[in-house]
Amino acid sequence: MTSPMASAVVRRQSRDHAVVLGASMAGLLAARVLAESYRTVTVIDRDVMPEIRTHRRGVPQGRHIHILHSRGLQVLNELFPGFTAQALQTGAELGDTLGSVRSVMSGYRLRQTDIGLPILFASRPLLEGQVRTRVRALPGVTLKQGTDIAGLTMSADRRRVTGVQCHGSGRAVAGTPETIVADLVVDATGRGSRTPVWLPEWGYQPPARERLEIGLGYATRSYRLRPGALGSDKAILITATPDHPRVGMVVTLEGGRHMVGLSGILGDHPPTDPAGFEAFAASLAVTDVADAIAGAAPLDDPVAFRFPASVRHRYERLRHLPEGLLVLGDALCSFNPIYGQGMTVAANQALALRRLLTCGRDPAPREYFRAIATVTDSPWDLAVGADLAFPGVPGTRTAKVRLVNAYLPRLHAAAAHDVTLGAAFVRVVGLVETPQTLLRPDRVLRVWWTNRRR
C-alpha cells in the first residue's frame, strides 16, 4: 500500500513513462528493452553506482564468481552490439564451455575440446558496469541512484499501478519523498522484492511460492595463481555428488586474477578463515582446486554468502493482477547460484518482454507472466531437479526427477570419453538447449553404448 508520507509528485510530461525498480542486471536489461517502446525510462536503485569496477552493497553476490553462459552472452550481444569485444577490451576472458573448462561432473572428468560454445569470464562488477554504461547511454533512460523505493501508488479503483514512491537512501534520509508517475512499473529488486507483500495489501492474492531449501553456503577468495597453474584451461569446475556434496571452482578474471569459489549445501559451509578455506578446497573429491591454489598469492580474505533456498513466485498462476506492474529477474525466480543461470535467465526474460512490447501496447500482466514462465521453466526444473539428487534436500522426487538423476551420472561417465555427449550436456548448461534434448533416443543410446565399451 502507499506509504502515508507526504509526497511531492514529480509528473512526467509523457504518458509513456516506464519505471524500473532495481538497477542490477535484470533491471538494466528490462530498461534496455523498454527504451525501445517508452519515451522515457527511469531506473531507480538505492545504491550510488560506482564509477570504477568495484563492488556495491545492493549486490552482495557480486563478490562471488559470476560466469556468463553462452545464451546470456548471445542475448547481451543482441541487445548491445559488440558486447563481447567491449568486455574483452576491458580484460574479460572468453573461453569455450567444453574446451576451456576442466569439469568434473558426477566424479567424471569431461573430455575437453573446443566446440564453439563461448562462455565469458569476468568479475560481476565488470559485467554489470558494462551493461550499465550501455543502458545509461540510451536516449530517454535516466538512472535515479541513491534512491530507496518505499511503495507503489494505485489508481482509486486499485486496478492499476500508477507510480512509485521513493526517497533518498542512506542513513540520513536526504531529499523530499517523491512520487514518480509511471505508465508501467517493472519490479527488478531481486530476492527482497516487495510485490508479494504489496499485492495482498491492495486486495489481490499473493503469488504461490515454491521454495527448495538447500542451505547453501559459498566462500570466495581471489588469487594470483602461479604461471601455468591451470595449464591451457580458463576454469575448473568440480561439481557435487551425493557422496561428495562439496563444490569447487576456479575462474579466470580480468587483471590476471583468479577467483576461487567453494560451496557446500545443508549447512556444510566452507569456512572464511584462510586455513579453513584451503582445507575445504583440499577436501573436494579431486585435488584440482587445491593444486591450482598451492603456492598462489591470495589477493583478499575469503568472503561468505548464504543462500538458504531457491525461490520461485508463480505470478503466472494468479487470475487477477493489477495493470501496469511486471516482475522479473531474481524478484520472480532465484536459482541455486551454483548453476550460474541467473543473469542468463534475466536476459531471456528481458527478450520475452521485448517480444510482447513489439505488439505496440503495454503488456497485459497475465500474458506477460505466462511468457516469462515459459523461459523460466527449463532452468528452474534443471536447478531444482539437480538439487533433489541430494537425499538431504527436502522435496518431492517425481519419477521424472528420479529418472534424470539416475541418467545424468551415466551421461557424465560417457562424456568423459565422448565429446559429442559432453557438447550436448554443456549446451544445456549454457542454456542454449533444453534439458529434454539429453533424453533424445539417439543420445540415450549413445550413453549406453559408450559406457558399455569402456
| Contact residues for ligand FAD, defined by CB under 6 A | 22-27, 44-47, 58-59, 61, 64-67, 148-149, 188-190, 192, 218, 305, 307, 329-331, 337, 340-344, 346
User: CA-to-CA distance for 315 and 366, rounded, in angstroms?
Assistant: 8
Our CB check for ligand FAD shows the closer of 25 and 393 to be 25
CB of 74 to ligand FAD, least distance (A): 13
The C-alpha cell 548464504 sits at: 306
CB of 129 to ligand FAD, least distance (A): 13
Our CB check for ligand FAD shows the closer of 264 and 421 to be 264
Our CB check for ligand FAD shows the closer of 149 and 413 to be 149
Our CB check for ligand FAD shows the closer of 152 and 415 to be 152
Our CB check for ligand FAD shows the closer of 23 and 87 to be 23
According to DSSP, residue 267 is labeled T
CB of 68 to ligand FAD, least distance (A): 6
CB of 393 to ligand FAD, least distance (A): 18
8 A C-beta contact, residue 19 and residue 340: no
Task: Assign 370 to helix, strand or coil.
Answer: helix
User: Which burial class, exposed, middle or buried, applies to 11 when counting CB atoms under 10 A from its CB (0-12, 13-18, 19+)?
Assistant: exposed
**β-strands 101-105, 40-44: how paired?**
unpaired
Q: Which of 391, 334, 369, 340 is nearest to 211 (CA)?
A: 334
Task: Assign 372 to helix, strand or coil.
Answer: helix
CB of 333 to ligand FAD, least distance (A): 9
Our CB check for ligand FAD shows the closer of 152 and 421 to be 152
Our CB check for ligand FAD shows the closer of 32 and 66 to be 66
CB of 147 to ligand FAD, least distance (A): 6
The stretches of 8-69 forming alpha helices (DSSP H) are: 25-34
CB of 98 to ligand FAD, least distance (A): 17
Our CB check for ligand FAD shows the closer of 168 and 409 to be 168
What is the H or E stretch that residue 152 is in? Answer: strand 147-154
Our CB check for ligand FAD shows the closer of 260 and 331 to be 331
CB of 375 to ligand FAD, least distance (A): 14
CB of 208 to ligand FAD, least distance (A): 20
CB of 292 to ligand FAD, least distance (A): 18
8 A C-beta contact, residue 11 and residue 113: no
> Which neighbouring-strand residues pair with 258?
223, 252
User: CA-to-CA distance for 251 and 427, rounded, in angstroms?
Assistant: 19
Q: Which of 320, 322, 331, 336 is nearest to 395 (CA)?
A: 336
The CA-atom distances, in angstroms, between 294 and each of 96, 288, 289, 291, 351 are 25, 10, 9, 5, 43
Q: Output the CA angle 446-449-450, nearest 5 degrees.
A: 85
User: CA-to-CA distance for 330 and 351, rounded, in angstroms?
Assistant: 16
Our CB check for ligand FAD shows the closer of 97 and 450 to be 97
Q: Which of 329, 377, 381 is nearest to 193 (CA)?
A: 329
Task: Assign 390 to helix, strand or coil.
Answer: coil
